[in-house]
């Protein structure tokens, strides 16, 4: 990209446009860099104290690794980008900052006001700030999606992302004997992080059978030539697992966790192509930790609060990364799960256009090509590692679905099948499923999926609670909207913080960010 000097005066009365970027992972950091290149002023904020997101999560400064490149792919490029953004005179870096609300101004064609809560999440001296940008880029990323199964609430059962964050960010192992299970290529880097941190990974379980995985990855194989970096990462991870003699099993999943007070063993089973457990294939494995993920759920609280339209559970964007909300752009995994390289390409394009740059400019053609390759990769990833429709066959009547409110499968199905209370909102209000502290971040997709399934006509298993497996998840109406309602408060905030007047700490008074 070359610098577009005309961009800094566009729609701003001659002053540089002010672009706020929420999220400092690969997409957000790239968006900040591109907006700076286009001549904008940038405020980059993240809930963490250091940029990088989950992908480049760093060790605390007190015991940072001598060679971070050994722990992170693309570390040198990330380090250059981070240094450039944080040292740029037109950039401000706001760590430990959470956006708790977005407010549409009276001029509905302008970007929303950004309400920020600054300070460590568990701190007692946090304070509010309000930013009034010309454009807003949302790059909030995604979190693990975990399908419920008996015992998933036991201590010692971790999301794979949490286990990796502890290993990469703290050098803390979640257990000595660990099973990693679920679906998707993310299982491999998680297992690698645990091995390097000192855990003994007993096995890695991919729920989809080899036929599904190979069919998804082998479709239009010539497109994989553009993903040589991914192939190198795959070879590195599989080599590491081979050296540690960690088996990688396809078509098998953890269907139950057991233990007295914490997980002590897991039950695994072979699955059919739709993830129905095959009777007689169960096997018990002693463990002291289980790491599980069934793909990712985009963090949609802020896009929904901004009024962005969703498509198939992700933020809908055009070819310039514009959302349907005026002045709001989106990049990274909230627009589709495609990995860090695709997120960076989307971030570059979003930052460039948010700053007033022309998305058809010849200098961004390569970025557009990389973005489009990323979208193709996302479609391939979804085809190779889908969520099977038979996963409710793991459940028992007393299996917790919503852990916050302790709503079990029996209660949820009874409410969903009652004609008087079967509407999604009525089910949530009646059972409290999805209304606890996590606000459906963990259980929302599962609750929406289970509520949308029809009761079968034939004699069911599991005490009459087996759902109809003929309803594919991506075809369930309102799956995303049932989990994400537009709320004026997108993140928790204490009443005292809400009552206090917005402001800045004394050492930052007079800095150039547009704030009120």
- pLDDT tens per residue, range 480-500: 444 555 667 887 888 888 888
* DSSP H or E run through 269: strand 265-270
Q: Is the pLDDT of residue 14 over 60?
A: yes
- C-alpha–C-alpha distance, residues 174 and 166, integer Å: 8
- C-alpha–C-alpha distance, residues 97 and 364, integer Å: 31
The mean pLDDT of 111-126, rounded to a whole number, is 87
| Residue range(s) of every CATH 3.50.50.60 domain in the chain | 5-60+75-143+297-362, 146-294
Structural contact between residues 295 and 320, judged by C-beta atoms closer than 8 angstroms: no
The mean pLDDT of 179-183, rounded to a whole number, is 97
Closest of 139, 55, 53, 51 to residue 99, by C-alpha: 139
- For all residues of the chain together, what is the average pLDDT? 83
CATH number for the domain running over 146-294: 3.50.50.60
Structural contact between residues 138 and 303, judged by C-beta atoms closer than 8 angstroms: yes
Confidence band for 477, pLDDT divided at 50, 70 and 90: very low
Give me Rg for the CA atoms of the chain.
23
The better pLDDT of the pair 474, 305 is held by 305
What is the per-residue pLDDT for 59? 61
Three-state DSSP at 303 gives: helix
| pLDDT tens per residue, range 191-207 | 999 998 899 999 999 99
Confidence band for 7, pLDDT divided at 50, 70 and 90: very low
Confidence band for 257, pLDDT divided at 50, 70 and 90: very high
Phi, psi of 409 (to 5 degrees): -65, -40
What is the per-residue pLDDT for 249? 97
Structural contact between residues 180 and 289, judged by C-beta atoms closer than 8 angstroms: no
- C-alpha–C-alpha distance, residues 402 and 414, integer Å: 15
Three-state DSSP at 114 gives: strand
Q: What percent of the chain has pLDDT over 70?
A: 81
The better pLDDT of the pair 269, 71 is held by 269
CATH number for the domain running over 5-60+75-143+297-362: 3.50.50.60
What is the per-residue pLDDT for 227? 61
| pLDDT tens per residue, range 422-453 | 677 788 888 888 888 887 888 888 888 888 77
- C-alpha–C-alpha distance, residues 77 and 95, integer Å: 21
| pLDDT tens per residue, range 325-366 | 999 999 999 999 888 888 999 999 999 999 999 888 887 888
- C-alpha–C-alpha distance, residues 484 and 488, integer Å: 12
Phi, psi of 80 (to 5 degrees): -65, -45
The Cβ of residue 59 has, within 10 Å, a number of other Cβ atoms equal to: 15
The mean pLDDT of 263-286, rounded to a whole number, is 97
Phi, psi of 256 (to 5 degrees): -165, 145
């Amino acid at each position: 990209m070359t610098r577009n000097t005309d961009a800094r005066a566009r729609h701003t009365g001659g002053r540089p446009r002010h672009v706020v970027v929420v999220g400092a992972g690969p997409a957000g950091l790239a968006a900040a860099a591109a907006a700076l290149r286009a001549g904008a002023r940038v405020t980059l904020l993240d809930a963490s104290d250091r940029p990088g997101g989950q992908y480049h999560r760093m060790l605390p400064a007190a015991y940072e690794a001598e060679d971070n490149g050994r722990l992170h792919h693309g570390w040198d490029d990330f380090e250059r980008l981070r240094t450039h953004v944080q040292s740029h005179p037109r950039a401000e870096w706001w760590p430990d900052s959470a956006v708790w609300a977005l407010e549409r101004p009276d001029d509905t064609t302008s970007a929303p006001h950004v309400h920020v809560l600054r300070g460590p999440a568990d701190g007692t001296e946090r304070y509010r700030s309000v930013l009034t940008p010309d454009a807003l880029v949302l790059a909030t990323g995604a979190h693990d999606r975990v399908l419920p199964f008996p015992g998933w609430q036991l201590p010692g059962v971790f999301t794979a992302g949490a286990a990796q964050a502890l290993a990469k960010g703290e050098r803390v192992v979640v257990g000595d004997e660990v099973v990693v299970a679920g679906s998707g290529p993310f299982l491999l880097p998680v297992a690698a992080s645990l091995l390097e941190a000192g855990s003994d990974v007993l096995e890695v379980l991919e729920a989809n059978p080899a036929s599904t995985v190979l069919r998804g990855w082998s479709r239009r194989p010539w497109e994989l030539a553009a993903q040589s970096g991914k192939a190198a990462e795959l070879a590195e991870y599989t080599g590491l697992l081979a050296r540690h003699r960690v088996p990688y099993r396809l078509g098998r999943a953890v269907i139950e966790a057991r233990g007295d007070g914490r997980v002590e063993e897991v039950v695994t089973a072979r699955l059919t192509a739709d993830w129905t457990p095959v009777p007689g294939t169960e096997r018990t494995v002693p463990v002291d930790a289980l790491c599980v993920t069934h793909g990712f759920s985009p963090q949609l609280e802020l896009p929904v609060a901004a009024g962005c339209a969703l498509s198939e559970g992700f933020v809908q964007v055009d070819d310039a990364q514009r959302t349907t909300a005026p002045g709001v752009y989106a990049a990274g995994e909230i627009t589709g799960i495609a990995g860090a390289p695709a997120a960076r390409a989307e971030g570059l394009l979003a930052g460039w256009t948010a700053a007033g740059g022309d998305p058809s400019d010849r200098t961004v053609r390569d970025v557009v090509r990389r973005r489009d390759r990323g979208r193709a990769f996302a479609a391939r990833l979804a085809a190779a590692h889908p969520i099977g429709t038979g996963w409710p066959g793991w459940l028992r009547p007393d299996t917790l679905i919503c852990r916050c409110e302790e709503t079990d499968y029996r209660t949820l199905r009874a409410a969903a099948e009652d004609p008087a209370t079967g509407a999604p909102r009525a089910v949530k209000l009646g059972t409290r499923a999805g209304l606890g502290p996590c606000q459906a971040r963990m259980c929302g997709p599962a609750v929406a999926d289970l509520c949308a399934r029809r009761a079968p006509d034939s004699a069911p298993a599991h005490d009459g609670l087996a759902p109809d497996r003929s309803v594919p998840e991506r075809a369930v109406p309102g799956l995303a909207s049932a989990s994400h309602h537009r709320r004026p408060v997108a993140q928790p905030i204490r009443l005292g913080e809400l009552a206090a007047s917005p402001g800045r700490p004394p050492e930052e008074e007079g800095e150039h960010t547009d704030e009120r």
